[in-house]
Structure formats: structure tokens, C-alpha cells
């Protein structure tokens, strides 16, 4: 009887765990359809962006400081998804080490996942010089950490442009719909939903040359330490024509 009870508890625990992953976040951003695609040149001034919903709820989940302003917008048409980050930054960090220049830089980040368990997901990190760090990764749900990460992987067809402005920078990009299809990132047969994580690395160079590394997300993953690589950072990005 005790063995049966133990087995039942184990099965129930497993079911609850699976449900927890399936219902991680209900946060949603709507990507509006546009008849006129924005020009991706890094300036962020194309009038098409006025049609897009504006997301500004980026915070520092792992420090008490008030996060600097961050604005995300996205649009889509029959060819691609277009996105823009406009961020406030009084001290733009630009990495110079050839081996890790992008990872030492301020940058805007987007992760897209194949499924809610993150069996496969893809990272995109773009700095103020339009340099892109991308990777194909997998999450180890049992040990709650990155299971694998291939930084040699590159986004097919990605166009990324950036520019700096007074106390901030702009990142713009374009991902072909065909890329999203080939990577099996659509969450529905109508190809209208993506599992997305929207983040920002906010770095400040200290007088001694080291970096103060701040991490901002649109969803608080409620992890003890900074960690973008987990299912709790992901919400839904939905393509709509409304």
C-alpha cells in the first residue's frame, strides 16, 4: 500500500510539474500587421512604428534599482517580423575584447523557443554597434539549467541595425517568416503565435574598468540569481491583424 501511495504521489508530482511548465506565463505582446514594412536602418524613425503596440514594462528582477526606460515594438507583414528596441542609457558599454566583445556590451535580447519546455530555443543579442551574438540552446529541466548552447549557430536571414543617440541607443531587426517556419517556432497551425522572451543587458563600466552587469526582463522569472535561460522568462508574441 505504501509503495502504491508513493508511486501515486510521484506521478501526481510529475503531472503538476508538467502543468507548471505548460502554464509558466500568460504575458502576451501583440505584433500588429502592417501594410508598409518599416525600413530597418537603425534610426528607428520610420512612421510605420506608430502602428505598433508599445511594450515598456521592463524591470530589474534581481536588484532594487529602478530600471532605465526600455521600449519594444514589433510589426509583421507577409515577409517578415520587424522589431525595434529604443532604450535609455546614460553610460553605454561597448565591449572591445575580440573574443567576447558583444557579451561585454549593452544589448537588446530576444529568445524564441520551439516549445514551453525549451527543448530547443534560439537566442539573439544585439549591441549598439549592431553586432549579433546568437545561439541554439536546450534547457535541462531536471537540473534547471542550460543543457547545451551552440554559439556557432546563426539566424538565417536576420537583418540587424543599431545607432546611438543622446543617452541611449536603438536596435532594429527583421526576421523572415520563412526562418520562423523552418525552425519550427510557430506554436499554432495558423502561424500566429511565438514563445518569446524579451530582455536587455544593462551594463555600466566602472572606474576600474570592470562592468556592473544589470539584467532586465519583461517578465520576472522569480529566480534567485540572474538567469534569462529558463521557461519562466518566456511569454507569448502573437501576430494579429486587428
Q: Domain extents for the chain?
A: 30-226
- The pLDDT mean for the chain works out to 90
The span from the CA of 88 to the CA of 75, in Å, is: 22
Q: Are strands 28-33 and 235-240 parallel, antiparallel or unpaired?
A: parallel
pLDDT, position 99: 83
Residues forming beta bridges with residue 84, ordered by sequence position: 73, 172
**Comparing 21-25, 139-143, 144-148, 186-190, which segment has the lowest mean pLDDT?**
21-25
9, pLDDT greater than 90: no
- What is the number of residues in the chain? 242
C-beta separation of 29 from 237 below 8 A: yes
Residue 20 pLDDT class (50, 70, 90 cuts): very low
Phi, psi of 182 (to 5 degrees): -65, -30
157, pLDDT greater than 80: yes
The span from the CA of 148 to the CA of 143, in Å, is: 12
pLDDT, position 26: 81
Give the CATH fold of the 30-226 domain.
Answer: Immunoglobulin-like (2.60.40)
What pTM did the predictor assign?
0.89
Q: Please count the other Cβ atoms lying within 10 Å of the Cβ belonging to residue 236.
A: 15
Residue 79 pLDDT class (50, 70, 90 cuts): very high
Amino acid at each position: 500500500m505504501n509503495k502504491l501511495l508513493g508511486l501515486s504521489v510521484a506521478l501526481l508530482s510529475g503531472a503538476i510539474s508538467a502543468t507548471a511548465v505548460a502554464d509558466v506565463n500568460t504575458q502576451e505582446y501583440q505584433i500588429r500587421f502592417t501594410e508598409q514594412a518599416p525600413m530597418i536602418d537603425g534610426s528607428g524613425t520610420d512612421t510605420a512604428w506608430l502602428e505598433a503596440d508599445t511594450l515598456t514594462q521592463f524591470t530589474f528582477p534581481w536588484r532594487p534599482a529602478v530600471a532605465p526606460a526600455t521600449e519594444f515594438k514589433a510589426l509583421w507583414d507577409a515577409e517578415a517580423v520587424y522589431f525595434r528596441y529604443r532604450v535609455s542609457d546614460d553610460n553605454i558599454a561597448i565591449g572591445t575584447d575580440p573574443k567576447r566583445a558583444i557579451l561585454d556590451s549593452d544589448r537588446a535580447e530576444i529568445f524564441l523557443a520551439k516549445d514551453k519546455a525549451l527543448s530547443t530555443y534560439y537566442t539573439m543579442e544585439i549591441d549598439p554597434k549592431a553586432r549579433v551574438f546568437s545561439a541554439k540552446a536546450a534547457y535541462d529541466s531536471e537540473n534547471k539549467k542550460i543543457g547545451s548552447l551552440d554559439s556557432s549557430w546563426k539566424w538565417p536571414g536576420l537583418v540587424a541595425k543599431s545607432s546611438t543617440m543622446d543617452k541611449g541607443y536603438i536596435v532594429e531587426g527583421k526576421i523572415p517568416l520563412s526562418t520562423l517556419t523552418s525552425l519550427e517556432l510557430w506554436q499554432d497551425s495558423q502561424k500566429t503565435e511565438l514563445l518569446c522572451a524579451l530582455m536587455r543587458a544593462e551594463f555600466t563600466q566602472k572606474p576600474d574598468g570592470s562592468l556592473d552587469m544589470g539584467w532586465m526582463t519583461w517578465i520576472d522569472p522569480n529566480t534567485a540569481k540572474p538567469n534569462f535561460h529558463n521557461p519562466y522568462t518566456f511569454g507569448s508574441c502573437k501576430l494579429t491583424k486587428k
